[in-house]
Structure formats: C-alpha cells, structure tokens
A and B are shown apart, each in its own frame.
Chain A
Amino acid sequence: MLKILKYSFADLARSRWSYVYFGFYLLLGFVLLFLNNDLSKAVITLMNVIVVLTPMIGTIFGIMYFYSAREFTELLLSQPIKRRDIFLGQYLGIALSLSLSLVVGLGIPFIIYGVAQSSEIWDFALLLLVGAFLTFIFVALSVNISLRNENKVKGFGYAILLWLFMAVIYDGLFLISLIMFDDYPLDKFTLFASMFNPIDLSRILVLLKLDISALLGYTGALFQNFFGNGSGMIISLLVLTLWAILPIGLLIRTAKRKDF
C-alpha cells in the first residue's frame, strides 16, 4: 500500500494542479495578510474560504484523478496486489497531497507574519486541521462516486451536486426547518442536525473559537456549552473522523466487489 501511496503522491507532486493549488493558498495567505495586517481578522476571512473551498477542490480533484488514473488502476489490478491496498494507497495519495498543499501553502505566509508568536496560533491550527479533515472527507466521498459511476459526466455531476448540497442546500433546508418549527424547542435538534454535515460542523467548530461573543447570546450559550468545552470539541472531532472513516470503509467495500 505504501508503495502505491508513494507512487500516486509522487505522481500528484509532479502534476501542475498540485502546484496551482499550493500557489493559490500561498497567494491567498499573503494577500489576506497584506490587506488586513491583522492575524485574527485574516483567520476569520480564511475560515469562510476554507470551509467552502477545500470540500470543492477535494471533490473535483478526487473525481478527476480517479477517472484519469483508471487505466493505471486497471494495470495495477492485474498485478498480485490487494485491492484494498491499491485504492487506499491512491486515496491517501490524493488526500495527503491536497492537505499538504493547504497546510504548507497557508502555513508559510502566516508563519512569516508571526502566527507562531501570537495568540491566534491555536485558532489557526484548528483551521488547518479542519481544512485537512474536510479534504479527507470529500476526497473519500468523491472517490466513492467515481467508483460507482462508469459514466464520467454523470459522476462529475453527482460530485458537484454533493458539494452543492453540503455547502449550500443543506443549510437552506436547515434554516427553513428551524423557521418552520419555530414554536418547538429546537436546541437539541440544531445540535443534532449540525452533526450531519461536515461543512457545518467544521464551520461551527472554528466559529466558536472566533466569533465567540455573538454566539454567547441567548441560545448561543447552549451551543457554547456544547461545542466550547473540551468534551464538545472532542465529540465534534470524533464525528469528523467518523465522517472520514465511513466513506473510506465504503470505498474499500465497493472496490472489493466491483467488477472491472
């Protein structure tokens, strides 16, 4: 597995798109810090970008890579290698290289501007961690889609739809249901529903570190009680891990049964 991981990682490291992605984050970091010159403000803006963009890039990259590497995958399948190793290796290759682009691309400008000495270091670290989680989750989901759809156009459509659903539509439905059921106690439901969308969960996790004073309003206190303390944080991270592990498990299962 490690060999395949290494191979697909090297393959991606040579590809132009990884560098474009890396360059994009590098530029984004520098521009943000240049315009704001205030680390905490830059972290807030960055959150908006990361929460929306990393899932999208993860989805598109994952599906593109798996479709384009199909012939190579078939070649590997003819070798005496376990299927689990092939697919897990390829998956980890993409997810790791994308996360690395993110972490290094944003890390360099922020370290130059002195994040390590400032009090924002933990917020920033959490932001990168969440970004990496989102990458792992959405690459896994998109690989699943590519395995189940031979038709590239269809697969691509599903993947984009998945991203759109998680990033926008889910929140819309969520908001409408909250307004509709206004008369009922909604706090438990809200906590529960936010667990079902990794993008929402990541956003709330980071937000509670940043916009803390707004969220401390009436109901905010309840969310603060849950997400703000240690156990809520651990639960949220566990749920995020679950969000990554389940699609990976599904991926392996699908790959094992698939007739190539």
Chain B
Amino acid sequence: MRGYLIGFLLLSIVTLLKGGIVEVCSRCEANTLQAAYDQASPFDTLLIKKGTYTTVGFEIRKPITIIGEVGAVLDGKGENYILKILSDEVHVFDLKLINAGRSYTKDYAAIYISRSSHFSIVRNTIIDPFFGVLIEKSHHGLIAENKVESDRIREDDSGNGVHAWHSSNLMIRGNELSGLRDGVYLEFVNESTVSGNNSHNNIRYGLHFMFSNHDKYLDNTFRENGAGVAVMFSKFIEMKRNRFVQNWGTASYGLLLKEIYDAEVVDNTFEENTIGIFIEGCTRVNYLSNDFKRNGWAIKVSGGSYTNVFSKNNFLSNSFDVSYNSKMNDNKFEGNYWSSYAGYDLDKNGVGDVPYRPVKLFSYVVNKTPETIILLRSLFVDIINFSERVSPVFTPDNLVDNAPAMKSFSYDQN
C-alpha cells in the first residue's frame, strides 16, 4: 500500500520534472487558479502559495498537478463544486477546501471527479462539505490521507465523505472521515481497496457499499457511527483486521451484511456494539478469527443465510452470543472460544468435550417479545436457558459448536 503512495509521489515528481511550474499567489502573475490553469500546459504543476482563493466550480480538463503550500485554502463561497476534475492524470495535494456548495437537488462536492483515470487526491483537508470527494465513472485513483470533517445533524442535508459510483481500481487509504452522512460510500465500485481509514461519528454509516464486487476492506476503524457499517448486495469481498467499536443505538450494527456472497470476514474486532454482525441472506461467508467483545448481540442471523462458517472466533462477554429467528440452520459453528462455555476438557487437547449451544432460549424469546429484555440475567432466565440447553425445543437443535476451544485465541490486535 505504501508502494502505491510512493509510486504516485514519484509519478508526481516525474510530472514536476516533465512539466513546468506555475505559481499561484495574490501578487503573482497568476492570482487565481483559473489564470494559472489557462497559462499551464498539460502535465504542468500549479503551486498554490499561502492564501485564500475563491474557487467556484473550477473545471480541470487537462492533466495537471495541483500542490498547495501550507496555508493554501480554496474557498467555494458555498455556491457550487470547488474542484471539478474532468480529465485523466490530475493530482491534487495538500489543499484545504472550505465552503463547498450545499443543495437538495444537486450533489455538490468539494472535489468532484468524473470520467477520469489515474488521478490522486492526497493529504487534503475538507471542512464542512456536502459531499467530500465525489467520484463518478473513474478508474485507477488514489484517495489517501485526506481529512473530511463536518458537523451536520440531519441525514438529508449532509453528504458522504468519499462517495464513489461506477468506478474501479480505487485505493481509499488512511483518510479520516467524521460528522458526515456516510464516511465511505461505494456503489458499483469493483476491484478497489479501502484500508486504514478512520471513519467515526458519522450520522449514518461509517462505511456503506452496494453492488461492489472483488473489493478489500483492511485495517479500518469504524467508531460511534449512527448506524455502524452496512454492506449489501456484493460478492467476493474481503474484510480483514477492521475494528468496529461502540456503534450503539436502536438500529445500530457493528456490521450489517445483507445479500453478501463468497466473502471473508477475518481478524476483525467487534467491541461494544448493540449488534456485532447482523446477517441477512448471506451465503458462503467465512467468519474466522474475529474478536467479539461485550456486544449486546455478537451475531444475529436473520433468514436465508446458508453455508456460512464461523470458526476460531472469540466470543467474550456478549449479552447474547448468537441469535436466530428460525429453527432452520445451515451454518457451521466450529472451534470457537465462548466465554460462557461451561464444559470440561478431560483429555487436555484444548477442545471442550461437551458441545456448546450458542443460541439461548432467552434470545429466542427476546426476538419474539422485545420487552422481555428487561429480564436479562435474572435467575429465572438462567433456569430456562439451562433447561433449554439440556433439551432444545425452540432453538435449532443442530446449531452446536462441537469443538469449542477451552482457551481464547490471542490475535495480537488493538
């Protein structure tokens, strides 16, 4: 991943060598971005000196690199897009963008990229935009180490931090996204990587994608988002080493998976979410080596989920480990560590000799009548859970971990 960045930096150095530099400052010959752009030939660099420049709907139609010095600010006057990138090979570094337009009918963005390829948006700061970086029908782009922040309260008058639509081969890396509607939003985006981002305190989702196949989500942190992370209708995705933390609320999920096929969810941490993972209609998904700590529901499985595998996960002090809404089960739980497991291991091979039933009767009751949650952890509930565990009547009787681990796995995370 670092290679990507260095590659792009080298590329920009090459373009610096190849092209000329046009400086932009209040006393320069070119005192606006537009004037400098008109002077520049393709592959030139615009070097923006300290100062605030009014930039409203500035269109870039030739390959160009824009670099901001410390204190270079582009002010959109709250009217329109700020930068519109409509060409290939456009690179934007180290700018601060403020006052992008806000509209209920148009998707104004601080940086708008359309039908471009081989572009990069690096180390920019975008304050209180509608959309931060909006990408349409573009390919081979790097969006790295940007900071997009907003402080909106309502969903309908806020946009997304990084929003990509009909694109491919994007690298969205190391960005900090907060106070937006969705931190990262991908729709019809393929072969892309989202890694090392910190998406927190967004109004709706930290990460939201749909119809996006063959994507990787690595090492991201999603914290305190209104509804956590929701991913839908996608195939062949990989989610590794992400952290889903403190997504609390009446309809909040650490990770909501809907209609996901052939995915890997590996080495992630789910901590203190209302629901760790909510699974609906997902097939052939492997959940391996994840940590579930102190969630309300670690895993909640709704209908139509088949041949999923849960293995080598740690379930630590969740109120409910697994919740099912039907008696059917076609998913496999094997070799996980359950902190509420009470079995023994006589042959000392690290595997419990008694199978563990992760679905409690009480979680079934709570599914039917949510108000009964008030009886959580009462003696009576312990008694009925125990009797159900001995002879299952209401919960799926083949939902068993036949080889529960005696000791928690340590994955050296955090």
Contact = CB atoms under 8 A, between A and B. Distances in A.
Nearest to B272: A213
B295 interface: yes
A75 interface: no
Interface stretch (A25-33, A60-68, A93-101, A200-208): A200-208
Interface residues of A, number: 38
Interface string B266-282: 00000011110000000
Interface residues of B, number: 34
A6 interface: no
A51 B379 CA distance: 9
B302 interface: no
Contacts of B273: 213
B319 A213 contact: yes
A95 B278 CA distance: 47
A4 B155 CA distance: 66
Contact of B376 (A179, A182, A189, A207): A207
A215 interface: yes
A199 B365 CA distance: 21
A216 B319 contact: no
A204 B374 contact: yes
Contact of A168 (B251, B371, B374, B380): B380
Interface in A181-200: 182, 186-187, 189-190, 194, 199-200
A214 B274 contact: yes
- Say what secondary structure dominates the interface of chain A: helix
A21 B384 CA distance: 29
A217 B368 contact: no
A8 to B, nearest CB: 31
Contact of A174 (B248, B274, B317, B375): B375
**Residue picked from A167, A204, A212, A214, most chain B C-beta under 10 Å:** A214
Nearest to B319: A214
A186 B369 CA distance: 9
Interface in A203-233: 203-204, 207, 211-221, 223
Nearest to A211: B319
Contacts of A244: none
Given A213-B248, A214-B376, A179 B365 contact: yes
Contact of B296 (A48, A199, A213, A223): A213
Nearest to B249: A216
A179 B275 contact: no
Given A168-B383, A215-B296, A217-B275, A200 B372 contact: no
Interface string A36-54: 0000010010011001100
Contact of B274 (A48, A169, A189, A213): A213
A190 B320 CA distance: 21
Contacts of A249: none
B379 A216 contact: no
A44 B294 CA distance: 11
Given A175-B375, A211-B319, A217 B380 contact: no
A119 to B, nearest CB: 13
A219 to B, nearest CB: 4
Interface string A97-125: 00000000000000000000000000000
Contact of B381 (A44, A171, A216, A221): A171
Nearest to B383: A168
Contacts of B317: 41, 44
A221 B373 contact: no
Contact of B297 (A52, A200, A214): A214
Given A213-B294, A216-B274, 18 more contacts: A171-B375, A171-B379, A174-B375, A175-B375, A186-B371, A187-B371, A189-B371, A199-B378, A203-B378, A207-B377, A214-B274, A214-B297, A214-B318, A214-B320, A216-B249, A219-B371, A220-B370, A221-B249
25 contacts: A44-B317, A51-B378, A167-B379, A168-B379, A168-B380, A172-B380, A175-B375, A175-B380, A178-B372, A194-B374, A199-B378, A200-B374, A200-B378, A211-B296, A211-B376, A213-B248, A213-B273, A213-B274, A214-B318, A215-B296, A216-B248, A216-B274, A217-B370, A218-B250, A220-B274
